[in-house]
Amino acid sequence: MRESTFWPRLLAHPWILGIAGILIVLLLWTGVTATGLVDRLFLPSPAAVLAAGQAQASAGILGRDLVASVTRVFTGFALSAAVALPLGIAMGTNRAICQLLEPLMGLIRYMPAPAFIPLLIIYFGLEELPKVMLIFIGTVFFNTLMIMDAVKFVPHELVETALTLGGKRAQLLTRVITPCIAPQVLDTYRINMASAWNLVIVAELVAANEGLGKRISLAQRFLRTDEIFVGLIVIGVIGLLIDLGFRLLMRRACSWAN
């Protein structure tokens, strides 16, 4: 009888198994490194990674890298989000604009963003601008096309009801279409934010003075695998926090859609 209530109760708290999964990997990792079977150079112990992280944090390196990478991601992505929203809505509501831009965007979207790095460096040098532009280019087409799709799925009854209630064209955009697509827009941003993180690391591997990606490539040069692990884990945690942030915002702002 006991077993029959155990699983449902456990599954009712999704984070329990989630944390268990992480702990299992941590335990395996500790176990494998403790046996000494694997060369430390390839796989440092969790304690060594923690120590490396602490050393970087207390030297102020970690904080500076974090600020540098996060600033790039947020600037580039904010720009992308701000362009994609009106453009996606315009393409979703206007057939001419859609026919003009959709094939073009569909084409550019499949060009791998990192392949633009050489061009961006030639155009914008080695400072912040090329990195921000890479994140912008790498996410703006996905953001736009996904928002356009969300607009196309707005039930036409909702738009037409507003018209029969005396709504003006401009009101359709602000009072019907925008609130209706808000949940999908937030979800689009949440999903494409992951690409922004990929791209900032790629950009920093190529050219940067600081940033989490830069730290990883420096660590590689000096065979500091512990520092590579620090970088990877920090990037993962920040990504997860941003993801959770978007989910929380969605639950707060768009509770009607759950």
Partner 1 sequence: MHLSVDSVSKSFGEGKARKLVLENVSFTISSGEFVALVGSSGSGKSTMMRLVAGLDRPSAGTITVDGVPVKGPGSDRGMVFQKYSLYPWLTAAQNVAFGMSLQGLPRREVQERTSYFLEVVGLSDAARRLPRELSGGMQQRVAIARALAAEPKVLLLDEPFGALDLQIRESMQEFLHGLWQRTGLTALLITHDLEEALLLAQRVHILAPRPGRIVRSVAADLPHGELAHLRVTPEFLALREELAACLRGLDGGLGL
Residues near partner 1 (CB under 8 A): 155, 157-158, 160-168, 171, 175-176, 179-180, 182, 254, 256-257
**Under a CB-based contact definition with an 8 Å cutoff, are residues 229 and 49 in contact?**
yes
User: Taking the complex as a whole, how short is the minimal distance between the CB of residue 151 and partner 1, in angstroms?
Assistant: 15
Work out the burial of residue 181: count CB atoms within 10 Å of its CB; fewer than 13 is exposed, 13-18 middle, 19 or more buried: buried
Alpha-carbon gap, residue 214 to 205, rounded angstroms: 5
- Torsion on CA atoms 135, 139, 144, 150, rounded to nearest 10: -140
User: Taking the complex as a whole, how short is the minimal distance between the CB of residue 150 and partner 1, in angstroms?
Assistant: 14
CB closer to partner 1, 174 vs 209? 174
CB closer to partner 1, 41 vs 158? 158
User: Taking the complex as a whole, how short is the minimal distance between the CB of residue 98 and partner 1, in angstroms?
Assistant: 21
Residue 98's CB is within 10 A of a number of other CB atoms, namely 17
CB closer to partner 1, 184 vs 225? 184
Alpha-carbon gap, residue 249 to 258, rounded angstroms: 12
Residue 87's CB is within 10 A of a number of other CB atoms, namely 20
User: Taking the complex as a whole, how short is the minimal distance between the CB of residue 147 and partner 1, in angstroms?
Assistant: 17
CB closer to partner 1, 54 vs 174? 174
**Under a CB-based contact definition with an 8 Å cutoff, are residues 111 and 167 in contact?**
no
**The pair of three-digit structure tokens given for residue 32, joined into one six-digit string:** 């494998």
User: Taking the complex as a whole, how short is the minimal distance between the CB of residue 175 and partner 1, in angstroms?
Assistant: 7
CB closer to partner 1, 135 vs 177? 177
